[in-house]
Amino acid sequence: MGKPKVAIYDFTGCEGCELQIVNCEEELLDIIANIELVYWREAATISPDGKTPVDCDIALVEGGITTPHDIERIRKIRLKSKILVACGSCASFGGINALKNDLPLDEMKHLVYGDMAQHFETIPAAPMRNYVKVDYELPGCPMVKAEFLKFFKWLLLGKDKWELPRYSVCIECKRKENLCVYDKGMLCLGPVTRAGCGANCPSFGAPCEGCRGLVPEPNVNAALDVLTEHGLSLEDAINNLKMFCNAEKPVATLHTWTKK
């Protein structure tokens, strides 16, 4: 078998996850030597044009779905790709784009574009999985370089098992012996957020903002205890969680807890 054909596509987003791939400076040349890059609009003029999807073994897709055109394009890409990988939070579960889902779209268009609003189409922000089958998801805003490299090596070599961490950021934070962010008087989403970032934000004095999405089966009771102890409510936590997880059902599920 020859080298796997890899394509990198971007949808609505900040292109920060593509930048994370470029930022693998030391490993990037090794990766490129082991693949055949068939599409990467942002970095190379190699495909027949910048727009048409090409046949590939692995498609790395960044950004989220926010226009009718996006839906059509991701479906075309899916048909041309053997493996589809959602890179980052926008592609994996909606991410920051979904903050707009709380607002009436027509009103928002007028707010930003005034009289010209009718020229711009937009739909509620959604992850890739709402429209096509996604084989793997690499959450994070941005996706974590180390996790991407580990995943990609696994994908190329097929050794061992690939799985995202099923525990919370708190575990990684404790391992780093950080002072708990709650004790600094801030609301941290570490207790309910999926680990894998090495507790990046708490290690730099900032609260976890849940950019990797909820951990599977979050211990909401325990999180509620921590919140209550610090004079905060689940409602406060949910408001913060909306920053990245507003397109997600778990936010709605957590809401039902406040009513119990």
Partner 1 sequence: MVEVYIPYLTRIEGHGNIVVKEKEGKIECRWEIPEAPRFYEAMLRGKPWDKVAHITSRICGICSAGHTLASIKATEDAFGIKPSEQTWLLRILLNYGEYIQSHSLHAFFLALPDFVGAPSVIHLIPSHKEAVLAAVRLKKLGNDIADLIGGRAVHPCSAFVGGFGRIPTENELLALKAKLQKGQQDIHIMVDVFASLRKSLPNFERKTEFISLYWKNEYPWIDGDIVSSESGVIPYREYLKFVHEWVKPYSSAKRAKNVFSSYAVGPLARVNNNFKQLLDSAKETAEKLSLKTPSYNPFHSNLARIVELVHCIDDAIAKIDKLLAKGLKEEKLNVTPRAGRGVGAVEVPRGILFHDYTYNETGHISNANLVIPTNQNHENIEDDIRAWVPTLIKQKLSDEQIGFNLSMLVRSYDPCVSCSTHLIKVNFKRE
Least separation in angstroms between CB 54 and partner 1: 13
Residue 125, by phi and psi: left (phi above 0), alpha (psi -120 to 50) or beta?
beta
Q: What is the dihedral of CA 45, 90, 81, 30, to 10 degrees?
A: 60
Dump the DSSP string for 101-121: GGS-HHHHHHHHHGGGGGG--
Pairing of strands 56-62, 81-87: parallel
**Taking the complex as a whole, how short is the minimal distance between the CB of residue 71 and partner 1, in angstroms?**
11
Distance CA 138, CA 96 (A): 15
Q: Which is nearer to partner 1, 81 or 97 (CB)?
A: 97
Whose Cβ is closer to partner 1: residue 40's or residue 93's?
40
Residue 35 or 155 with smaller CB distance to partner 1: 35
Provide the binding-site residues for partner 1, judged by CB under 8 A: 11-20, 22-23, 25-26, 28-29, 32, 37, 40-46, 49-52, 66-67, 69-70, 95-97, 99-100, 103, 107-109, 111-116, 119-120, 122, 141-142, 200-201, 203-206, 209, 240, 243
What is the rounded distance in angstroms from the CA atom of residue 74 to the CA atom of residue 53?
9
Cβ nearer to partner 1, comparing 109 with 135: 109
Task: Give least dist CB 260 to partner 1, A.
Answer: 27
Least separation in angstroms between residue 16's CB and partner 1 is 2
CA angle 185, 188, 192 (to 5 degrees): 150
- Closest CB to partner 1 among residues 115, 163: 115
Q: How far is the CB of 179 from partner 1 (least distance, A)?
A: 11
